[in-house]
Amino acid sequence: MSTAERRGKIIELLEVQGSVKVEELATRFQVSSVTIRKDLDELERRGLVRRSHGSAEATSKSLYNPSMGEKIAIHNEDKFHIALAAAELVEEGDTVLLDSGSTTLTLAKVLKNRFQKLYIITNSIPISLEFSDRNWEVVLLGGTLRPHSGAAIGPTTVDNLQKYYADKVFLGTTSISVDRGYATPNIIEAQTKEAMIRAARMRVVVSDSSKIGRHTLASFAALQDIDVLVTDPQAPPGFLDKMKDLQLKVVFSSPIDPANHDSPQASLPRQN
């Protein structure tokens, strides 16, 4: 397990338990207590955890923003099933705009094994590389590179997006709330996501349910601005009631046998 994966798993564990002791983490990941303390020091420096004597606690800061490597390790099974459900919204020959993110990266892996031909537009270097072994047209948007995520964002990216119009856009998010909608910790990234929303006919957010009820710094869309939310069945009932009141579409992922994920019929997502 890489350092980024281990730190992602630590964040995920803290989301569930609230706090955890250093010794427990060292035993779980089969590394030394010194290694765990270094992990926690780095995560605390970035505002992702809060240290206390001999343990760590979860944090809910509005700037919560793990690295791409850490995000991939968080709720990775949920992301896989969400990606399968999201792929059901895509049709052969579609122009698909993919936002940067760990769930959209997982979606890219599913799409390339499911379709014969798609036209891909993305601001993500990892996603563009995912399609490098396919004879598809892939547009990598320019902009200011975020080493944190491998994404291009900023005014240049926004200007580039004005030249394109996609059938569907799939966006990641850091938080979802009734009052703030969909949000991200980076204001410039939020502006890039807003431009993506304007550049597509169908707007879809892919997100595991752990992000529902959180609040993050910069909102990029109200709930009503997104056509479909694809999430897992653990989404809070109160939030789903609000989505129903607003007549907004939610598609739930369904756990399936990963060995069958290449089949177009492998996922049969249900809707609210």
Q: Give the architecture (CATH level 2) of 3-59.
A: Orthogonal Bundle (1.10)
pLDDT of residue 55: 86
List where CATH 1.10.10.10 sits in the chain.
Answer: 3-59
pLDDT of residue 42: 84
Class of 71-271 in CATH: alpha beta
List where CATH 3.40.50.1360 sits in the chain.
Answer: 71-271
pLDDT of residue 14: 77
What Rg do the C-alpha atoms of the chain give, in angstroms?
Answer: 18
Q: Where are the beta strands (DSSP E) in the chain?
A: 19-21, 49-52, 55-58, 95-98, 119-122, 138-140, 144-146, 151-153, 166-171, 175-177, 181-184, 200-206, 218-221, 228-231, 249-252, 270-271
> Apex CA 89: angle with CA 70 and CA 217, to 5°?
40
Q: What is the dihedral of CA 97, 99, 103, 109, to 10 degrees?
A: 50
pLDDT of residue 220: 97
pLDDT of residue 205: 98
Q: What is the pLDDT of residues 67-121, one digit of tens each?
A: 555 555 455 788 999 999 999 999 999 999 999 999 999 999 999 999 999 999 9
Give 183's strand partners. Answer: 175, 219
Q: In terms of pTM, does the model score above 0.85?
A: no
Interatomic CA distance for residues 250 and 223, integer angstroms: 11
pLDDT of residue 209: 93
DSSP 174: S
Interatomic CA distance for residues 85 and 267, integer angstroms: 6
Low-confidence residues of the chain: pLDDT under 50: 62-64, 73, 256-270
How many CA atoms lie less than 13 Å away from 246 in the CB half-sphere?
Answer: 20
pLDDT of residue 214: 86
The one-letter code for the residue type at 222 is A
| CB of 231 closer than 8 Å to CB of 197 | no
